[in-house]
Amino acid sequence: MNLDRARELAGRVEHFVRQEVARYERDPRVGAHGPSMELVDEMRAKARAAGVLTPHILPDGGHLTHRETAIVLRAAGLSTLGPLAVNVSAPDGGNLFLIGKIGTPEQKRRFLRPLIDGRVRSAFFMTEPAAEGGAGSDPSMMQTTAHRDGAHWVIAGSKTFITGADGARVGIIMAKTGESATMFIVELPDPAVRIERVLDTIDNAMPGGHALIRLEGLKVPPDQILGEVDKGFKYAQVRLAPARLTHCMRWLGAATRCNEIAVDYAIKRKAFDRQIIDHEGVGFMLADNLIDLKQSELIIDWCADVLDTGASGTVESSMAKVAVSEALFRVADRCVQVMGGTGVTRETIVEQVFREIRAFRIYDGPTEVHKWSLVKKIKRDHASSLSR
Amino acid sequence: MNLDRARELAGRVEHFVRQEVARYERDPRVGAHGPSMELVDEMRAKARAAGVLTPHILPDGGHLTHRETAIVLRAAGLSTLGPLAVNVSAPDGGNLFLIGKIGTPEQKRRFLRPLIDGRVRSAFFMTEPAAEGGAGSDPSMMQTTAHRDGAHWVIAGSKTFITGADGARVGIIMAKTGESATMFIVELPDPAVRIERVLDTIDNAMPGGHALIRLEGLKVPPDQILGEVDKGFKYAQVRLAPARLTHCMRWLGAATRCNEIAVDYAIKRKAFDRQIIDHEGVGFMLADNLIDLKQSELIIDWCADVLDTGASGTVESSMAKVAVSEALFRVADRCVQVMGGTGVTRETIVEQVFREIRAFRIYDGPTEVHKWSLVKKIKRDHASSLSR
Amino acid sequence: MNLDRARELAGRVEHFVRQEVARYERDPRVGAHGPSMELVDEMRAKARAAGVLTPHILPDGGHLTHRETAIVLRAAGLSTLGPLAVNVSAPDGGNLFLIGKIGTPEQKRRFLRPLIDGRVRSAFFMTEPAAEGGAGSDPSMMQTTAHRDGAHWVIAGSKTFITGADGARVGIIMAKTGESATMFIVELPDPAVRIERVLDTIDNAMPGGHALIRLEGLKVPPDQILGEVDKGFKYAQVRLAPARLTHCMRWLGAATRCNEIAVDYAIKRKAFDRQIIDHEGVGFMLADNLIDLKQSELIIDWCADVLDTGASGTVESSMAKVAVSEALFRVADRCVQVMGGTGVTRETIVEQVFREIRAFRIYDGPTEVHKWSLVKKIKRDHASSLSR
Amino acid sequence: MNLDRARELAGRVEHFVRQEVARYERDPRVGAHGPSMELVDEMRAKARAAGVLTPHILPDGGHLTHRETAIVLRAAGLSTLGPLAVNVSAPDGGNLFLIGKIGTPEQKRRFLRPLIDGRVRSAFFMTEPAAEGGAGSDPSMMQTTAHRDGAHWVIAGSKTFITGADGARVGIIMAKTGESATMFIVELPDPAVRIERVLDTIDNAMPGGHALIRLEGLKVPPDQILGEVDKGFKYAQVRLAPARLTHCMRWLGAATRCNEIAVDYAIKRKAFDRQIIDHEGVGFMLADNLIDLKQSELIIDWCADVLDTGASGTVESSMAKVAVSEALFRVADRCVQVMGGTGVTRETIVEQVFREIRAFRIYDGPTEVHKWSLVKKIKRDHASSLSR
């Protein structure tokens, strides 16, 4: 771990995001389903030129440690467009991490390289429609299946909330293979991967939005199995904790920026004969933000340290995800409130970040599902303390 | 007060809203700045035919009591489009109430009648841009002025967050006249009332959205002074408490509907081997909703009873506004959470109501401003208890 | 219902409590297990003389309506000793109500009369030790049994948290009779009702405290069955909702008094160049109290109205109990905080009320158990809405 | 910093506290004003024998780093009596730290040595009675004065909430000297330091309780000035941050123990057909505890690291104090709730820790005073960011 290197890198990312990216925040190419790919490409060209594209991947192909990544991604998150601009956004980050861990050399050449170069986007096909009884938070309910047909596999089913699927060039698809599940990596678009509809959602930071998809007999050759057959759930775990934590890192940056905006507003705006920050009803909200932001940073760093030991970090990332998503939502909510009428307009990014973080309390596992798994951990620990 | 009459009326409004209005909720004519006037007119034609248009105004021109109104407006609020459809929405409701109280017969004929008939919309020009140091929550900071020019008055200044101004035919404008303020009632559109921009905001229930306006030397004849010169702040108080309370009534209806949707979802959807309502982490959120909705109803009814005694209800409506807006936000937030991914999509109205009620915590006075005035009341009561 | 009568009565109770009872609050006879019976008798003698003893029982033996009772009990609650002084405290109130409903004339003469006269105290033997697997919140786990032995019944088992048992002269005992349960009414003390220990608890308002009891073959003649055999659970429900609601009424009075004390402190005390109430961080807590106290009053009145229709009020009293106990705890907690160091001392009753209301969030069913039963109600309502 | 050394030491302290100290928790010598000195001496004799007395002071007289101290004090806090038993309790810890920093060699020999040896207790005379307009949270209101009388100083005034004064042998007294303040170190008892009354308070962990004191012309020779004349406020700051943080460390230990007790209860106790931990309403409270405890640990460690750089840590310790005291109060409150009736009894230490931590939200600066100073920091940071 080299925190100085990470801080230097983060400094450059922060400079780029504040100076070059923030100005695009009100660009009309940011639509209801996220920024257009044209806008993304334009920003990435600048990032490439500035030497801050895909900054968490080292020149030798290595990956920053999780702890180092935290520092860099927080800087990238200072604009809602920052992670996209420098190519550290979801779901690409998690996909890239996973392919790097378990992909074959050929898969890395074909699918990973263009992702690292920031030339294409990818999607992860996991969750399924509630209305059809499919897997939401409970993966055991997965209904999409893959079965062998000669040398190939054929995948059929429905997926929903597939972030970035519309416009993606790479897809990782999870499907039941008997009692287990298997991951497949495919090129997109493909006529058998039909985007039925891009959902209208409360958030709009992700290009391609979140799509409802029908997998209509998609044929996949055996060399596009990602990792081994039947190990899909295990790999999902590998991807899970780091991906979850990068969400926390990026949103911490966004909430930090919101807080800067709210502080500036509260200092410049007067009402009832004072700067509004001098009304404790306002000032105390900003004091609470200071604490919530610091505690979010601390638990992210702690969890990153755990991941850097090589541990799975499942429990720790659940703790971090719950703590950070709930804290940052409070922060964003207070920023909106501090800014009054201005807070609910798109005059600043505060309004958008509030909406995005509302969704974040559900994405990557709702708070309640994480608490549920924490209860299991508490029971395990109690049992093992008794047996000692 | 005739609660049976009100309940019968509310029953008809509820039937109409559930059967006729709800189906328009996903109509493409509902845009980022609210439903189009075409859509509003279409729904109002049906409401007229069904005998539920402007239901709080009696055939003889009288007004339901506030307590009766509460029952009817809650029914109207069961759809986000309901209040518009039956013509009990803001800001028309408050404007209509105010003109009825202090307008001249001629003003009533010219401005009130079309409003009651649901043929036009109106706007209330009060708040001003923060960036220009104008009046937000603190009316003493008002910078828009009216001065006499011969027989006429000339109004100049900026206003912002003027709900429904875009498309309105009637405007009530508040302007400083010396140390005091005066209200003027005008026909719209008018070239001297320039809509600079309709703000992009988190909410989208109000047709015309919320506009930033320049008043560029608007000339108003003396018979369009609403009430008396220099009594603007007093009239604003007359409008304030009832208008504020009708917001509570409508949003209570909307939150009630969201809760129905969330309960239905939680009962039909399974995860981890149970109906999700049988996970206490979910079920308890719905139990909390039950309590919050009931307490919102009770404090609205209490405040309405106070208003019906003829009291100003300033303190009581501040208490109700804080309690109800915060409680309904919790309700909407829990509904989103209960529904997981679906909760953050526009597949149901839950997502919209969540956004609307977020804004409601700021509109009509942020929570903090109301608490500030409650503190003053506590001090007054303490002083008077000492002097007894 | 005669609210004027109730208000007049409450006025006299309030006067008595503020003038005569409050002065005993720091009397050394208030110990860790509540006030001594000597102190109770001294206060009751004064209440009797002032005509405010047992004020909810009318001269003709009738009972105030629940709604009227709410007004009177709130007045009594203005001192932590008030309910005892005027004989409207728990558990006597609930016991008196139950015997009045289902007792035989002879049982009323023998057990009810002295209770109404405020000459004796009573106890209700329901809950059992957790450590022994007995019934806490879940009555189906009851382990105390009663079996016939000739003409008599013999009761054996353990009970815990039996409020006021130490010093009580009347006991109502709940015991399993086969799959059902039966209530017995007995004279105390009795050697077969062994008080093993009076528990040290966070609260100390109740004389006799809360005792752990062994029932060692207590012999009860058949004419001391309260109501009918095997109907114990049903009677417990009869007692439940009204008893629960009277807790809310009394604690609302106590919290109201705490708030008066905190307001007075915040107005008289200065820090950092202002009255501390003029620090919004303090003033807003008092504004929140104002709202919480009003909402507690409203939901109590609503629930009382439901009970007065003759309905069981089980659901409504669960809603009221959760809302009121949680709200009053927030109120008491804020009063402590507003008063700083003074708030955690026994210089005022604020510290005690804080402790009492902490216990109240558990007594008469913890918040979580009530929410659990509210979830069942939500499911019932949903099912019946589908079948309509 | 040598965390391994600290962990080894903490392991020994933990073993001692769990095995030897915990058994005294229900000793009758723990009274309403804390444990008796006899009990303290008995426990310290054992600690001395076990080699864990005053563990944060190294054999060479040096002090563990703050970060190391955090680990050791958390272990000591695992029993409410642990800090006293191993001599790391307040206010001795802070006093010892201060004398070590600014005392003369003679003062160290005379006052510090016996404190380190655990043979005597000390008190810090700072806060003054609110009712007399003295200094509570606002030190500028200090009314106790010291004036020269020949070679000596004479101190007069009132102090209140002086923890441990009753029974202390060493006192540090803060008094106004003109516009500034000066610290004096004195031997106790002294007839001019009259203990008027030991306050009855919600907490009872501190021997000697909290006393109201009259300083009636206390004569102090010049060699008992602690540090320099007129630098009292500066020294108070030196003592402040570390003392405040050690409170957090100890109470984290206590809350951790409470959580262990509550988890054990929730796993062993059944209701409604399950272990109560398997009711999410209970289990989720324990999951929240897990997160709150971890976040408390992280912010303590962070603040300790800041102090170890030599920085004053005023802001950081305010953040930590607010975050930790509020979080641990939630933890203790949930433990009480999880345990139902048992939670409000003294059958376990949960009830006491709940009361102690309630007081901790006020002691060493109420949450609101800390937030107030955080607002100032936010304004300073904003101003300096503008000037960059």
> pLDDT tens for residues A226-270?
999 999 999 998 898 999 999 999 999 999 999 999 999 999 999
Task: Give the angle A369-A374-A378 at the CA atoms, nearest 5°.
Answer: 150
Chain B residue with Cα closest to C284 = B371
B337 to chain A, any CB pair closer than 8 A? The answer is yes
Residues with Cβ < 8 Å from A328, sequence gap 6 or more?
A251, A252, A254, A255, A292, A296, A357, A360
Contacts A280 to C, Cβ<8 Å: 279-281, 284
Q: What gap in Å lies between CA D195 and CA B104, rounded to an integer? A: 75
The answer to whether the CB atoms of A366 and B203 lie below 8 A apart is no
Interchain contact, C337 vs D281, CB within 8 Å: no
What does pTM read for this prediction?
0.97
Band (A388; pLDDT cuts 50, 70, 90):
low
- Put simply, whether B191 touches D (Cβ < 8 Å) is no
Residues B258-273 as b or e (16 or more Cβ within 10 Å = b)? bbebbbbbbbebbbee
Q: What is the mean pLDDT of residues B266-271?
A: 94
**pLDDT tens digits, C340-375:** 999 999 999 999 999 999 999 999 999 999 999 999
Tokens of A135: 């897997």
Q: Which among A283, A319, A382 is the nearest to D375, CB-wise?
A: A283
How many CB contacts within 8 angstroms connect chain A with chain B? 121
Closest CA in chain C for residue A281: C280
pLDDT band (50, 70, 90) for residue D244: very high
Cβ of B368 and A272 within 8 Å? no
Do B366 and A279 make contact, defined as CB atoms within 8 angstroms? no
pLDDT at A69: 97
The HSE-up count of residue C199 (CA atoms within 13 Å, CB side) is 25
Q: Work out the pLDDT band at B386, boundaries 50, 70, 90.
A: confident
**Residues A15/A70, Cβ–Cβ less than 8 Å:** no
- Closest-CA residue of B relative to D284 is B281
The model's pLDDT over B189-225, given as tens digits with 9 standing for 90+, comes to 999 999 999 999 999 999 999 999 999 999 999 999 9
| Res B388: pLDDT | 67
Interchain pair C340, D130: CB under 8 A: yes
- DSSP assigned state of C32: T
Contact B287 C371 (CB under 8 A): yes
CA gap B258, D340 in Å, rounded: 33
- Contact residues on chain B for D279, CB-CB shorter than 8 A: 280
pLDDT at D132: 84
Look-up: residue for tokens 């005059």?
A347
B28 has pLDDT over 70: yes
Residue C2: per-residue pLDDT: 86
Rounded Cα distance between D20 and D14, Å, is 10
3-state secondary structure chain A: CCHHHHHHHHHHHHHHHHHHHHHHCCCCCEECCEECHHHHHHHHHHHHHHCCCCCCECCCCCECCHHHHHHHHHHHCCCCCHHHHCCCCCCHHHHHHHHHHHCCHHHHHHHHHHHHCCCCCEEEECCCCHHHCCCCCCHHHCCCEEEEECCEEEEEEEEEEEECCCCCCEEEEEEEECCEEEEEEEECCCCCEEEEEEECECCCCCCCCEEEEEEEEEEECHHHEECCCCCHHHHHHHHHHHHHHHHHHHHHHHHHHHHHHHHHHHHHCEECCEEHHHCHHHHHHHHHHHHHHHHHHHHHHHHHHHHHCCCCCHHHHHHHHHHHHHHHHHHHHHHHHHCHHHHCECCCCHHHHHHHHHHHCCCCCCHHHHHHHHHHHHHHHHHHHHHC
Residues shown for chain D:
388
CB contact under 8 A, C368 and D343: no
With vertex at residue C284, the alpha carbon angle to CA C282 and CA C288, rounded to the nearest 5 degrees, is 120
Q: Which residue of B138, B272, B359 is in closest CB contact with A271? A: B138
From chain C, pick out residues whose CB is under 8 angstroms from the CB of B319. 290-291, 294
Nearest to B295 among C263, C287, C299 (CB): C299
pLDDT at C136: 82
- The number of residues in chain B equals 388
Cβ-based contacts under 8 A for chains B and D? 10
Q: How confident is the model at residue A76 (pLDDT cuts 50, 70, 90)?
A: very high
Name, in order, each residue with C-beta under 8 angstroms of B137's C-beta and a sequence gap of 6 or more: A271, A272, A340, B365, B366, B369
In C, residues 236-295, which contact A (CB 8 Å cutoff)?
279-281, 284
Among C243, C240, C246, C195, residue whose Cα is nearest residue C216: C195
pLDDT by residue (tens digit) across D214-227? 999 999 999 999 99
Q: Which residues of D touch B284 (CB under 8 A)?
A: 280-281
Under the banding of pLDDT at 50, 70 and 90, the label for residue D388 is low
ipTM computed for the complex: 0.96
Q: Is C167 helix (H, G, I), strand (E, B) or coil?
A: coil
- How high is the pLDDT of residue D125? 97
Interface test with A, best of B344, B346, B373 (most A CBs within 10 A): B344
Predicted local distance difference test score (pLDDT) of residue D343: 97
The chain D residue lying nearest B281, using CA atoms, is D280
CA angle B213, B216, B222 (to 5 degrees): 105
**Helices B350-360 and B232-268: crossing angle, nearest 10°?**
150
Over chain C, what is the mean pLDDT?
96
Does the beta-carbon distance from A271 to B137 stay under 8 Å?
yes
**C361/D138 Cβ within 8 A:** no
- What percentage of chain C has pLDDT greater than the value 70? 99
The set of chains that have 3 or more CB pairs under 8 A with B is A, C, D
Q: Say what percent of chain A tops pLDDT 90.
A: 93
- Point out the residue among C263, C299, C372 whose CB comes nearest to the CB of B382: C263
Confidence band of A133 (pLDDT split at 50, 70, 90): confident
User: Would an 8 Å CB–CB cutoff place B356 in contact with chain A?
Assistant: no
| Nearest chain B alpha carbon to A375 | B281
- From chain A, the residues in CB contact with D290 under 8 A are 319, 374, 377-378
Mean pLDDT of C12-33: 97
| pLDDT, mean over chain A | 96
Give the pLDDT confidence of A348-387 residue by residue, as tens digits. 999 999 999 999 999 999 999 999 999 999 999 999 988 7
- Cβ neighbours of residue B188 closer than 8 Å, sequence gap 6 or more: B123, B165, B168, B169, B170, B171
| CB-based contact B374 C263, cutoff 8 Å | no
Closest to A34 in 3D by CA, of A201, A212, A258, A246: A201
| pLDDT digit string, tens, across residues D345-385 | 999 999 999 999 999 999 999 999 999 999 999 999 999 98
pLDDT tens digits for range C95-142? 999 999 999 999 999 999 999 999 999 999 999 998 888 888 888 899
